[in-house]
Chains A and B, each alone.
Chain A
Amino acid sequence: MTEPYMRVENLVKQFGPFTALGGVDLEVYPGEVHALLGDNGAGKSTLIKNLAGVHQPSSGQIYIEGKPVNFRSPRDASNAGIGTVYQDLALNPLMSVTRNFFMGRELKGMFGTLRMDEMNQIAHDEMLTIGIDFSDPTQAVGTMSGGQRQTLAIARAIYFGAKVLILDEPTSALGQRQQMGVLKTMMRVRSRGDIAIIFITHNEIHSKLVADRFTFLSLGKVIGQGTRETLEGGEIRRLMAGGAELGDLAKELADIG
């Protein structure tokens, strides 16, 4: 077994009296997709914001390659190789693919001029490696489909050194076909072998299609963890619903009726 790239130990996050995360453990391995599942309010967003340096944990420790780290800002996290792709993707629709790809981290020549041809080439090549052949990187992002935008944001995170790629519900708000496109992109990233993916999702089917490892959150706590081999389909569904059996739910619904 390889070493985990990132390990989270007993992470607690409190907002005043409210405990959003009550001691979460997590291990993320390179070349694996780690699905983070849970209902609304389970603490998925709080957890990734702690990993991405947006929030600082109240207690507990994050380790990168075995060394303890403290992220005081998103920049710290991104320097440590944590690339977060949020749902809004942080893209500018009126700007070109290349200008978005290098936004804030442009390649400069003398006198601060942009090395535009080189940037176009890199943007094109990086997107091609994870699955989109986008012939014209000077095109505005506004003309791209949701799935293509997702791919652009993922390619950008990887190019700028992400070793842990956090994808926040990348398949929600997409059509069926584009969801599959995003899952394929994830598998291509996974097959590189050096990048760990944290895949946050509501969708049990998507997680089963791509994930090697699962963590289920409910009310700020881990209620189940395991690899694809150790968890069964029914168990996943039960954990997904916050630990309740689907049968129980059916009964409750019947009682109301």
Chain B
Amino acid sequence: MANSSEASRLKEETWFQRIVRRPEIGAFVVMVVIIVGLMFASDGKAFNALGLKNNIKIISQFGIIALGAAMLMIAGEFDLSIGSMIGFAGMSMSLMLKWGLPFGLGEATPFMAFALTLVMTLGLGWFIGTVVVRSGLSSFIVTLAFLFFLRGATEVGFRLINKSTQVSGLQDFKEDSWFAHFLGGELFGWFYDAWYWIGMQFVDLGFDRKEQWFTLGGNINRRGEQWVEGFDARFLWFIVISMAAYFILSRTQLGNWIFATGDNKDAARANGVPVNRVKIGLFMFTAFCATMFAACQVFDTNTSDAAKGNLMELFAIAIAVVGGTLMTGGFGSIVGVVFGAITVGLVSNAVFFIPQIDGAWFRVFVGTILLAAVFANERIRKRITGGI
């Protein structure tokens, strides 16, 4: 048959070739290089008990918003309002916690402050999405408008209610509210407990904390006690959101609709995919991710200010692209975005572990890998669409 011989012209690939051609391979290689490089350059400090906690914290922050941005980009749209949405959500929550619920509804519990804020941000996400799909305008320009609008509204809101553009010294809600604890507290204590236990076993064998290079210090502080108690709760949300995103994209009908919407929305529509609802839903998802980012920050630090989340939308998009997401939509990898978040997070923190380097190199690095990633992604797109 004519057609079957055509199909057989596609070369059979070995597993190695398949792995090398995966979209996340570039992000993976860069990540491994950064991890190994940082390990040596920081003399292991970047991954000792406290270093790992701090690195995971920033990786999770980047990761949460990058996953939202990536899902939306796969559906063919951008959201430049993520950073301002973080500021807005942080303002909303901290003001409610400090001054009480709106309309004199009394004291705000952490849950009420979070829930009301989430209702507002999801509403904003819905509104942004609706404007984009109804007007047919580029989401770039619509969300740019909301970048300014929300940042301005955040600052105005702070001044009107609080007289100052920052809130500090909030009560430490995570102490007695399990809800706040799950956003701003420390979780996965068992990991650090186990690390400490292992460290103590080697101390008993005669290896001092400083000699335990193989356990990276064994989670023991100078006084011989357990050093770090757990990871930031953000880590949990990063894991939850990335697993949910992976599951939705690869295993569900909604995932198929997201890919179809971003690839060729007319074809998707012709086959009955509710393109507009998919897009609006994903604008709400980025708003959700921004709200989680802000909530973790507010309940962790008990502070908030009008500049929070500045430039985060650009980091989110950069990480999504580094992870193999196409700017034109229709293609992307959640695993790649996770690798990208790890890479960018580690490099942004590197200056704390290698004090002799200038912290500004971080942006030089991000710019470089972003450009490299765009070229690599373009090759992937050509390979897939170029066809025979």
Which chain A residues have a beta carbon within 8 Å of chain B's beta carbons?
A: 74-75, 86, 88-95, 99, 102-106, 108, 111-114, 116, 131-136, 139-140, 142-145, 147-148, 151, 177-178, 180-181, 184
Contacts and interface: CB of A to CB of B under 8 A. Distances in A.
B259 A99 contact: yes
Contacts of B240: none
A104 B271 contact: yes
Instruction: Across the A-B interface, give the 5 residue pairs with the lowest CB-CB distance, nearest first.
Output: A104-B272, A104-B271, A92-B263, A142-B385, A90-B267
7 contacts: A93-B387, A113-B252, A132-B1, A139-B10, A142-B384, A144-B388, A148-B7
B253 A94 contact: no
A92 B259 contact: yes
B256 A114 contact: yes
Contacts of A151: 3
B384 A103 contact: no
A92 B263 CA distance: 6
B3 to A, nearest CB: 5
A95 B271 contact: no
Contact of A181 (B3, B264, B267): B3
B387 A143 contact: yes
Contacts of A133: 1, 3-4, 7
A112 B268 contact: no
B160 interface: no
A144 B385 CA distance: 9
Most buried by A among B259, B271, B331, B385: B271
Interface string B113-154: 000000000000000000000000000000000000000000
A189 to B, nearest CB: 14
Nearest to B267: A90
A200 to B, nearest CB: 17
Given A131-B3, A132-B3, A114 B252 contact: yes
B273 interface: yes
Given A113-B252, A181-B2, A184-B2, A105 B387 contact: no
B257 A93 contact: no
A135 B271 CA distance: 24
B6 A145 contact: yes
Nearest to B2: A181
B33 interface: no
A90 B270 contact: yes
Contacts of B271: 90, 103-105
Interface string B215-256: 000000000000000000000000000000000000111111
A102 B7 contact: no
B381 interface: yes
Nearest to A134: B7
A89 B270 CA distance: 10
Given A133-B1, A142-B387, A112 B260 contact: no
B267 A92 contact: yes
A94 B23 CA distance: 12
Contacts of A148: 3, 6-7
Interface residues of B, number: 34
Given A90-B267, A132-B7, A145-B387, 9 more contacts: A90-B266, A99-B260, A105-B271, A113-B251, A133-B4, A135-B7, A142-B386, A148-B3, A148-B7
B336 to A, nearest CB: 15
B253 A112 contact: yes
Contact of A75 (B268, B272, B326): B272
Contacts of A86: 270
Contact of A147 (B3, B273, B381): B3
A135 B4 CA distance: 9
Contacts of B381: 94
A143 B257 contact: no
Contacts of A92: 259-260, 263-264, 267-268, 330
B179 to A, nearest CB: 26
B253 A93 contact: no
Contacts of B1: 131-133, 184
Interface string B373-388: 0000000010011111
A147 B6 CA distance: 10
A158 to B, nearest CB: 15
B331 A106 contact: no
Nearest to A156: B271
Contacts of B259: 92, 94-95, 99
A94 B263 contact: yes
B57 to A, nearest CB: 32
Nearest to B6: A145
Given A114-B253, A148-B7, A104 B260 contact: yes
Contacts of B270: 74, 86, 90
Most buried by A among B257, B272, B330: B272
A132 B10 CA distance: 14
Contact of B268 (A104, A142, A177, A180): A104
A177 B267 contact: no
A99 B256 contact: yes
A90 B270 CA distance: 7
A92 B268 CA distance: 8
Contact of A94 (B2, B252, B385): B385
B2 A180 contact: yes
A105 B4 contact: no
A128 B384 CA distance: 23
A148 B271 CA distance: 19
A149 B287 CA distance: 38
A144 B388 CA distance: 7
Contacts of A180: 2
A147 B2 CA distance: 10
A150 B256 CA distance: 21
Given A95-B263, A144-B388, A103 B268 contact: yes
A132 B256 CA distance: 24
Contacts of A106: 253, 256
